[in-house]
Structure 1
Amino acid sequence: MSSAIEILPAINSLRQLDSVFIYSIEEKDENFLDKYSKIIGIFDQQIDLFRSIEENTDLAIKQVESFKFYEKNQKSTRELSKESGSFLWLRLFKDIVLKLPHDEQSKQEMIEKLNEIYRNNNRQLKLIGNFKNEYKSEDAIRWYTGQPFLYKQLNRALRTEDIELLYKFRYFISDLSKNLSNEYEILKDSFDSKITFYRGTKLSNEEANKLERNLGKLISTNGYLSTSLSKDVALQFTDKSTDTETSVIFEIECDLGKTNTVTMASIAHYSKHSDEQEVLFDLDAAFEILSVEKNSSLNGLVVKLKATDEGAELAQEYIQYHDRKLNTTSVVIMFGYLLAEVGQYDKSEQYFERLLKNPNGEDIPFIYYYMGGAKVDQGDYDTAMKYYQQSYDMLINAQPQRELASSYVLSDIGWILHIKGQYNEALDHHKRALKIRKTYSNYLSVSSSLTNIGIIYKKIGKYNDALDCLKESLQIKEKYLPHVHQEIAKILSTIATIYSDMDELDNSLEYHQKSLEMIEKCLPFEHENIAINLNHIGTILTKKEKYDEALDYFIRALKIKENIFPNGHLSIALSLNNIGYIYYRKKDYTLALDYFEKSMNMRENLYSDINNPMLINLLTNFGLVYLKLHKYDSALTYHVRALNVSRIILPSGHFTITECLTNIAIVYREMKDYVKAFEYFEKSLKNEGKNPTKGNMLRLAYNYDNMGVCLCYQGDAQTGLEYRMKAIRLLGKVYPRLQYARTADTIGDVYLGLERYDSALECFYISLNIKLKCLSANDVRTAETLMNIGDVFFEKEKNERWKSNEQYKIKSRFYYEKALEIYTKNKHVNTIHTLNRIGIIYEEIHKYHVALQYYRKALETFGTDILSDDSLKEICENNVARIKWLMN
């Protein structure tokens, strides 16, 4: 007892510790038992100790369970959260097991596995030998309730979703399900139609809180559920609540007249404890949570459930979706893909490989197709492409050709080609798929093809074509789908990304928010697609430089992904990367690096051998931070790594390669190595190819401008300006963005200072055209460019003394007056400057009365809300005085 007194205070609070047994010949201390709730008893006889340990071990095994929830608002099983997927896979697995061969080979595989597990336990090996010799299929329930080596391993496999082990148990699972079904028929004849079953257990506080948060949802346990017809028996299993665990009584209502797919059986006559009146539910039973109430006498919760057929209906919907997609109702194939959809990629791959070795009549092209889909989810596009191509070849060479099914493979190949930047090839595949689908009047798949084509048009900068495709797709979706549907939400989100590329950020944000609002009505609150939408909004807010708001959205997305993928996932790495980029933009480079490193570590732990676009982006972000920290060697290292990866996975000419080369050039520019910088800008320029689209004109302009800057720093200002002028001309051809206007203004000022008026005018006209499209009619930034144009004509007239010089004055005055209208409406200080400028023009053509009006108006403006300094007031006073003297 003295040792127990010393040890227990340190270990009693450990969650891993379930029960404590004390063996002591000293006198028992009853207060000690009350103090530590985990003590089962104090024993002075070994036989009593062993019996208690065995009983409580069995109890712990029965009590260890977690719950799977399914959001009833989730309109389609196509979009599965991980938990919803887990909810479905047990139902599909049972269906599969009942269809698999039930023979001596499958029985022998199970026995060999059990012998392997218990190879060092002679007692259990003897019992396994008895099972091998004596087992009959009709005795499955008796063996399940009587032999720990069976129910322990089977329940462990179910709890951990161990596909390999469950497959080994397929022979016994099939027998047990059939036995339970037979017993269920007896139960229905023996009881009234409405029965209440009870289950007592202890749950972690986290699991108990989860029950409270999920009222109205469907729930299932991760295996066979043991209950009792007696509430008193159930109460014996609850024990008292602790700081970390909550006692729970489940009251399960079952209307046998209304449920057709929930199987349960009274197994008291098979059990060693017949007085427990045990009823066992089959592993695919589903329940609706009716209420969760605190109970003071229990010091825990009473949870009321109702048995329901909805679990089976959801599984059937999943099957029907894939039936509509590829005209296959193979549950066996779909189960493997479901594993991938919920993130269990290795299990999915193992399952499919086993299926290929022994297809047992399954459709092999579809096996390859779903294997490809699983690889896409992993980011392994090369292997996915190989599987898709095998599937396509088999479908197209079949007699007769399976054309409609092949369109789905074409579409998915197109998607991979798009990811790899092979846009022309991707477009070809999507158009081929679209043509087939139109032939079969498969409207929703036509909509999907239009969406895919629109996304590629967006990538190559054909935004109007992209919007046309997506709006046509949206019309089809709205016609054939419910008003609120995640497919509609997806298209809204895609349209938003196009507006983002067009720099129409307010429109983009509006569409993203509409998409998020809709998808939150369609999917559970912890669904990955909600996280994707949150990321989109965060990205737009980043572009709008609203970094704190963006950070909030990125963090919300991260939390959802961490709940969905507790063991890590590429999408979590992406969110960490996004958060790091926000801190980079906020100039918190230490935190930025911290998040980038977390992202890189997760990516390397999960998929260290896979190169993909996300890796390029992450390496680039490292380079950007090190550049800001003036650690140029580190910046170069990361940008060169990004370039090397991009050259491995992307075709020559891809814009990502261009950007990588540009980033390297920028580092050299900051290092003042202008020769090297010019070399890499030139390489970047050449990578763009000979036929630039709107999508890469911007990159061309950026490189021309930087090459010009490098030449200027090297002392060749004339050639440098020629390069910069090329940049301005290209900026005038792309979708207007305010930053391009600022660049044009800057270069225009340089040309004006060099008295190269025609080039200056070209720059300012391009700037004005952009600002008129980007800004409101009375924005002072537009007035600034109007003034610049006026200044060019004003200076041009002074330096070109010929007969048309009055024409320049007229043009100069025209632009000044346009600027004056805007400045006046905004009560801007430049109102005074502009009035004086116009006055000077009238003074030079000897229209002194008009000039005086403008000078006086400039002077009078000082009495308004417009603030200015005294020196400017003095200039205005001198102007008035001078014009009066001239008039006299």
Structure 2
Amino acid sequence: MTTRTKIVWYDINNIQEDIYNKYNDYTFQFYNDTKKCIDYIKSINKSEAVFLVLSPLSALEILPHIHESRQLDSVFIYLNTHDVKIDESLLDKYSKIIGIFYDFQRLFQCIEETIDLAMKNVESFKFYEKHQKSTRELSKEFGSFLWLRLFKDVILKLPHNEEAKQEMIAKLKECYHNNNRQLKLIDKFNQEYKSTDVLRWYTGQPFLYKQINRALRTEDIKLLYTLRYFISDLSKSLDDEYQSTKDFFNSNVKFYRGVKVSHEEGKKLKENTGKLISMNGYLSTSFSKEVALMFAGESRENETSVLFEIECDFENINSVSMASIAYYSTNRDEEEVLFDFDTTFEILSTSKNISENYLVVKMKVTKEGIILAQEHIKQHNRQLETSSAILLYGYLLTVIGQYEKSIEYFHNLEKNPNGEDIAFIYNYLGDAYRFKGDYETALKYFKNSYEIMINSEPPRDILSSYLLNNIGSIFTTKGQYDVGLDYYKRVLNITKIDSNYAVITTTKEGIGNIYHRKGQYNEALKYLKSSLKIREKYLSGEHKEIGRLLSVIGCVYEDMDQLNTAFRYHKKSLEINEKCLPVGHSYISCSLRRIGNNLTNQGKYDAALDYYVRSLEMLQVLYPNGHLNIAVEFCNIGYIYYIKQDYSNALDYLNKSLHIRETLYADIKNRNLVTIFKYFGLVYMKLEKYDDALANHIYALKVCEDIYPIGHSLISDCLTNIGNAYRGMKDYVKAMEYYEKTTNNEKQNPTKPNLIRLARNYESIAICLSDQGNDQAGLEYRMKYVRTMKNVDPRISYVNVIDYIADMFFNKNIYDNALECYLTSLEMKSKCLPIADVRTAETLENIGNTYFEQDKNQLCENDEQYQIKARCYYEKALDIYKIKNDITTIYILNRIASIYENIRQYHCALEYYEQAKYFIENYFSLENSIKETNEHDITRMKRLIK
């Protein structure tokens, strides 16, 4: 319970000790003295809420003095016996009495429910920028304001009839089903209410204003829709009152509101100067600054007192709905003025009143919010050729991520369309279910919508094209690529670019995505780049759709193993998205994930992990109940831990990913599902749990074959993994069988064999042959691996394997092959490592060593050629080692010196031995034997020179 709520109990003798102990978390004030109780309640700040428990007798004595006090929220009459007769006039006279209770536990249940309702009416703010981009780029805050603004438009157009009234009555009775006092008031409202009395009922009855403001502040779409009958009357009345009284106001009037907010909310108010703010509820203000300050009270340890000073220029603002309601209020001295729930303000400044310790927030009423809302409504209407605020209202719930609310809204509309186009209702239901991840239901509604549109007279071709694209995207997500392709190509047959560029670009992108997933990368790039060209013609350079499409193209280059090109596309995509989208948007998360994938492929695992975590954090805010993309991110992070050999964390993240898939998306088979089981298999291989590895790899293959055509590179990957699992189990016959299947699958690739998968298969065959004792054949396949990898974009992970193979040849004195491998490694490292990286120096050193050893093992006409080449590579390695102050510097200096000594250039040899001595003495703490050897070398050179 917060410091804003207080339970005051009169007549402490009525408390049962055992039950009182049960509720000792609450803070009570107990009184037996009537005057002290009354004085205490009157002394409480008006911004706080008192919940008062009385006996029937004490109620007659106390309520006449305090019932109209603003701080008194609710009254509960408690008796521990049914024998006492209660004066019925008590309930009729005092509307704040919630009910009469004979059971202590039922009493406290009702107190808790009432406090909870009061807390949901506590001040809440939404801040947003003056300039929001297109509808899909809405910040969550502005999206919330926009759909509340549309809600007002919608309810003003909906039937205002007895049916709507009775729907509201039924809901209110449900809310107060155990409260006889409130039920009587609801019945009275049902019998006596007239629209002209709306302000009197709103100010006088808690069961109305509490439920309405709770629904607004919590954005409870179902409750708001149910209360539409009264809300529409209230908004109309505020507007009517304003129109009839505005001429009596001066041109510029100030209103005041005093509240207590958390320190965090106070900080947000300071940080958002210059931005727009909405209150998500009817806003009560006063003409009197003194009254507002009474409500603000004094700041406390956990709360900040705030005084809002609100300016309204009536000459320039004609769209605000507000009214003075002091005449209708039981507290007329408060001079209350009520603003409609869609009123927008601009924060002009914030300052601290030092002497009285409260925050002053100066604001002005602005029409900016209404203008922004109208711009977004017009844009959407142009896109889908509809001007229905009722439909747009539900669609915006989907845009801001409120999928369940959107679904509920459109299902209500489906039952009672009130003249709205049922085809659009089905389309929007499909959208909401698709974004929720329920693809089968989405498909059903898209198809229903399409059938209605195409069978209209005349057929609605442009609108039906949207539906065909939506259906195509669902089949693509489900991995049914040929079906999806058919739907997209139907769009191209009926739509021209000039008639609707948005449809065509979406279609071409969809076709490009399918070719990408089928491994036909050149075809994919053709359609995706065509889509990009059209978008760049019609949209600004920093539009989110351009940013998103650049990232998609980057993914194709990624799979073509053109990593540098892919990285440029991903980076540009992120730059555009961060400029034109609100922080935390799903497109930004997607760009971060794809950069993470690229860095993973480059072997930059720590940097990749950072991008994955940033993306995950955004997604968990966007989709607190889980989402397919969260499963993808868990999977990516799991793989990084696998690479880092942290297998426990790897399994943990992979299990998190699989849990989301199994819980929310059990019927979806796609690449991510293949990847999850593939990574499980790889981890189990490292843990030497080969049976578990095999089971996961076999399942990954099954999914792969369900969604990809024969010849796809991912099928090759799965086949090789199964072979590796059998190899781990020492079933070499089965292993070789699957390696052969990989080779055959690559031969059927519709474009060209995937060189990386092919090379990986060669390496697996080599290990399998070596394990069986056939080292010679194994080495031949290892050379096939190296020669294949020469033709792909370099990655450090590939280089590590090539270095390992080169070392094998070197150790077996097969220097020509070792040299070929080291030179391939050097070429790759020069492209994917920074200049002067120690890993490059190591390869240069290894090449020098190979030439050095060739000189010792081969007879040739010019026996100096290998030594000259060796010295050349040693010199290059030396330049890097010196920069890095690496101990290997000494070894290289000695090697170069020995080469000069072998060809009798003793002065040069002496120079390098002396450099080695300098490094030994000044940089490294080495064994005495190394120092002694160096001294002997120097002495020998000096003797030879003489």
For normalisation by structure 1, the TM-score amounts to: 0.79
Structure-2 separation of matches of 1:695 and 1:72: 53
Q: 1:178 aligns with which of 236, 252, 264?
A: 236
Describe the SS at the equivalent of 2:296.
coil
After TM superposition, give the deviation of residue 199 of structure 1 in Å: 1.9
CA 1:391–1:275: 2 relative to 1, 3 Å: same
Structure-2 separation of matches of 1:682 and 1:84: 58
Q: Which range moves more in the overlay, 772-781 or 271-280? A: 772-781
The answer (yes or no) to whether the contact 2:266–2:304 under 8 Å persists in 1 is yes
Residues 1:320 and 2:333 are matched in the alignment:
no
| Residue matched to 1:94 | 152
Deviation readout 1:187-245 (Å, 9 max, x if unpaired): 31221232222222222333333222322222212222222222222223223333333
Describe the SS at the equivalent of 2:442.
helix
CA 1:854–1:206: 2 relative to 1, 3 Å: same
Structure-1 separation of matches of 2:628 and 2:43: 47
Residues 1:403 and 2:457 are matched in the alignment:
no
| Residue matched to 2:59 | 46
CA 1:776–1:114: 2 relative to 1, 3 Å: closer
CA 1:53–1:695: 2 relative to 1, 3 Å: farther
The answer (yes or no) to whether the contact 2:562–2:793 under 8 Å persists in 1 is no
Deviation readout 1:473-508 (Å, 9 max, x if unpaired): 556555544454433433454455456556666665
CA 1:382–1:874: 2 relative to 1, 3 Å: farther
Structure-2 separation of matches of 1:782 and 1:70: 56
After TM superposition, give the deviation of residue 374 of structure 1 in Å: 1.9
Describe the SS at the equivalent of 2:312.
strand
| Residue matched to 2:437 | 379
Residues 1:195 and 2:253 are matched in the alignment:
yes
Structure-2 separation of matches of 1:88 and 1:163: 13
After TM superposition, give the deviation of residue 185 of structure 1 in Å: 0.6
Structure-2 separation of matches of 1:795 and 1:448: 66
Q: Which range moves more in the overlay, 737-746 or 400-409? A: 737-746
Describe the SS at the equivalent of 1:269.
helix
The answer (yes or no) to whether the contact 1:380–1:610 under 8 Å persists in 2 is no
The answer (yes or no) to whether the contact 1:73–1:521 under 8 Å persists in 2 is no
Q: Which range moves more in the overlay, 595-604 or 61-70? A: 595-604
| Residue matched to 2:73 | 56
For normalisation by structure 2, the TM-score amounts to: 0.75
| Residue matched to 1:489 | 547
Residues 1:24 and 2:32 are matched in the alignment:
yes
Q: Which range moves more in the overlay, 332-341 or 484-493? A: 484-493
Structure-1 separation of matches of 2:846 and 2:725: 32
Q: 1:160 aligns with which of 196, 215, 218?
A: 218
After TM superposition, give the deviation of residue 165 of structure 1 in Å: 2.1
Q: 1:209 aligns with which of 267, 290, 303?
A: 267
Describe the SS at the equivalent of 1:290.
strand
Describe the SS at the equivalent of 1:279.
strand
| Residue matched to 1:131 | 189
Deviation readout 1:724-762 (Å, 9 max, x if unpaired): 565556535544445445545655776798999999898
Describe the SS at the equivalent of 2:328.
coil
Structure-2 separation of matches of 1:23 and 1:686: 89
Aligned pairs (5 A) from 1:686-701: 690-691=748-749, 693=751, 696-701=754-759
| Residue matched to 1:519 | 577
Q: How much is the aligned-residue C-alpha RMSD, in angstroms? A: 5.2
Aligned pairs (5 A) from 1:461-540: 477=535, 480-494=538-552, 496-497=554-555, 500-501=558-559, 512-540=570-598
Structure 2 letter corresponding to 1:125 = L
| Residue matched to 1:357 | 415
The answer (yes or no) to whether the contact 1:288–1:308 under 8 Å persists in 2 is yes
| Residue matched to 1:295 | 353
Structure-2 separation of matches of 1:123 and 1:42: 15
The answer (yes or no) to whether the contact 2:532–2:546 under 8 Å persists in 1 is yes
Structure 2 letter corresponding to 1:353 = H
Deviation readout 1:364-405 (Å, 9 max, x if unpaired): 333333323222322233333333344444444444443333
Structure-1 separation of matches of 2:285 and 2:525: 57
Structure-2 separation of matches of 1:651 and 1:240: 71
Aligned pairs (5 A) from 1:108-127: 108-127=166-185
| Residue matched to 1:845 | none
Gaps of 5+ in 1: 799-804, 840-850
Structure 2 letter corresponding to 1:56 = D
Residues 1:276 and 2:334 are matched in the alignment:
yes
Q: 2:207 aligns with which of 136, 144, 149?
A: 149
| Residue matched to 2:325 | 267
Structure-2 separation of matches of 1:34 and 1:105: 43
After TM superposition, give the deviation of residue 90 of structure 1 in Å: 0.8
| Residue matched to 1:440 | 498
Structure-2 separation of matches of 1:177 and 1:739: 66
Structure-1 separation of matches of 2:328 and 2:277: 28
Q: Which range moves more in the overlay, 37-46 or 108-117? A: 37-46
Structure-1 separation of matches of 2:583 and 2:23: 36
Structure-2 separation of matches of 1:263 and 1:635: 67
| Residue matched to 2:427 | 369
Deviation readout 1:670-725 (Å, 9 max, x if unpaired): 45454554455556666667125468442233234213322331345566556556
Describe the SS at the equivalent of 2:420.
coil
Aligned pairs (5 A) from 1:806-825: none
After TM superposition, give the deviation of residue 583 of structure 1 in Å: 4.2
CA 1:475–1:822: 2 relative to 1, 3 Å: farther
Residue identity (%)? 50
The answer (yes or no) to whether the contact 2:120–2:218 under 8 Å persists in 1 is no
The answer (yes or no) to whether the contact 1:289–1:304 under 8 Å persists in 2 is yes
After TM superposition, give the deviation of residue 532 of structure 1 in Å: 3.6
Q: Which range moves more in the overlay, 855-864 or 94-103? A: 855-864
CA 1:794–1:74: 2 relative to 1, 3 Å: farther
After TM superposition, give the deviation of residue 255 of structure 1 in Å: 1.9
Residues 1:140 and 2:148 are matched in the alignment:
no
State the aligned residue count.
861
Structure 1 letter corresponding to 2:73 = N
Structure 2 letter corresponding to 1:109 = E
The answer (yes or no) to whether the contact 2:897–2:912 under 8 Å persists in 1 is no
Structure-2 separation of matches of 1:161 and 1:325: 27
Deviation readout 1:93-136 (Å, 9 max, x if unpaired): 22222222333322222222223333333333333233333333
Structure-2 separation of matches of 1:646 and 1:699: 15
Describe the SS at the equivalent of 1:102.
coil
Deviation readout 1:531-552 (Å, 9 max, x if unpaired): 4444444444545555555444
Structure 2 letter corresponding to 1:325 = Q
Describe the SS at the equivalent of 1:368.
helix
Structure-2 separation of matches of 1:114 and 1:340: 28
Structure-1 separation of matches of 2:604 and 2:614: 16
Describe the SS at the equivalent of 1:197.
strand
| Residue matched to 1:76 | 134
Structure-1 separation of matches of 2:215 and 2:344: 19
Gaps of 5+ in 2: 1-10, 75-95, 97-114, 882-888, 921-929
Q: 2:161 aligns with which of 103, 115, 132?
A: 103
Deviation readout 1:392-439 (Å, 9 max, x if unpaired): 444444444433334433444444444444556656655665676653
Structure-2 separation of matches of 1:721 and 1:128: 89
Structure 2 letter corresponding to 1:65 = E
Q: 1:223 aligns with which of 259, 281, 285?
A: 281
